Amino acid sequence: MQRRLWRATQYALLGVVVAVMDAPLLWMVLSALKPDSENAAYPPTFVPRTWTMESFADLFRVSDFGVYLTNSLVLAASATAATLLLATLASYSLTRFRLRFVQLVGEVALFAYLIPPILLLVPIARLVAFAGLANDRAALLIIYTANMLPFGLWVLRAHFQGIAAELEEAAMIDGCSRFGAFVRVIIPQAVPGLISAGVFTFNASWSEYLYASTLLNSPDKLTLSPGLALLMDQTGVYSWGILMAGSVIMVVPVIVLFAIAQHQLVGGRAEGAVKG
């Protein structure tokens, strides 16, 4: 009885924490479904008296939100693919080959990720201008990949260290090359790590504001975060409904991605075995 009471108390406290954490998100969604007159009313209403999707239609009609959405999607997907490719090859090399100074690089790589981006903004902006990539999305792709690579390397290195070398040795005995064993045996084993690193990289690139707002100034090249900051200036209308609609559209892909990734991580099964 005491154990059940303690468990019920834990679930109740967890429910309170979840409610407090999700309340702003719920308020954002409900505000996007209210007309502007109700958003500006006092006292404010939590549940809309009048439900409408007008703010979502106005968002694309009076602003370049579709352009921001496309730019962010292409940039985040490209940065995620580049980071996973480089981090996978580098982390595999760190765990399978003993090269001078390489292990030290692997140990200190995470410290590069811990440096606050604001400290690097000025030197990076000067390098971007020197390379002729000012106001170019390619510069953001390079920056995002370089910024997320230490984290991806750290995550995937731990996964590769947990994969027995005997698996690929057995595959090579059966006729696979090292690269073939890497693709057919090691990569399937590392899927949870790839998903974890990929989701984190996509989310960080999707919502990044500092570099995007500093290095891009053309409206047709802006991403979602600086685009939302400029949304009120572009529309010329102080509309909480439009702003909340844009925020909802920005958050939904991340939530869906996390939901899919959680399912894959929980339901994923290791493949491959040592031949007996």
Give residue-wise pLDDT tens across range 27-79: 888 888 888 788 777 887 888 888 888 888 888 887 888 899 999 999 999 99
Q: How far is CA 209 from CA 16, 117, 139, 230, 254, in A?
A: 31, 11, 14, 12, 16
- Note whether 254 and 205 are within 8 A (CB): no
Helical spans, DSSP H, in 207-238: 210-215, 224-229, 231-235
Q: Which CATH superfamily is domain 63-267 in?
A: MetI-like (1.10.3720.10)
Radius of gyration of the CA atoms of the chain, in A: 23
- Scanning the structure block, which residue is given the tokens 């947990």? 162
Asked whether the CA dihedral 83, 87, 90, 93 is positive or negative, the reply is negative
Higher-scoring residue by pLDDT: 104, 236: 104
Q: How far is CA 166 from CA 94, 161, 172, 185, 194, in A?
A: 17, 12, 10, 11, 21
Mean pLDDT of the residues in the chain: 81
One DSSP character per residue, 142-185 reads HHHHHHHHHHHHHHHHHHHHTS-HHHHHHHHHTT--HHHHIIII
One-letter amino acid at 233 equals D
Q: Where are the domains of the chain?
A: 63-267
Among the listed ranges 162-171, 233-242, 261-270, which one has the minimum average pLDDT value?
261-270
pLDDT at 240 over 70: yes
Residue 83 has a pLDDT of: 93
Q: Reduced to 3 states, what is the DSSP secondary structure of residue 270?
A: coil
Residue 273 has a pLDDT of: 38
Residue 246 has a pLDDT of: 86
Can you give the pTM of this predicted structure? 0.82
d(CA 202, CA 75): 9
Phi-psi region of 25 (alpha: psi -120 to 50; beta: other; left: phi over 0): alpha
Q: How far is CA 163 from CA 1, 52, 114, 187, 266, in A?
A: 43, 52, 27, 10, 18
Dihedral (Cα; 189, 193, 195, 198), 10-degree rounding: -130
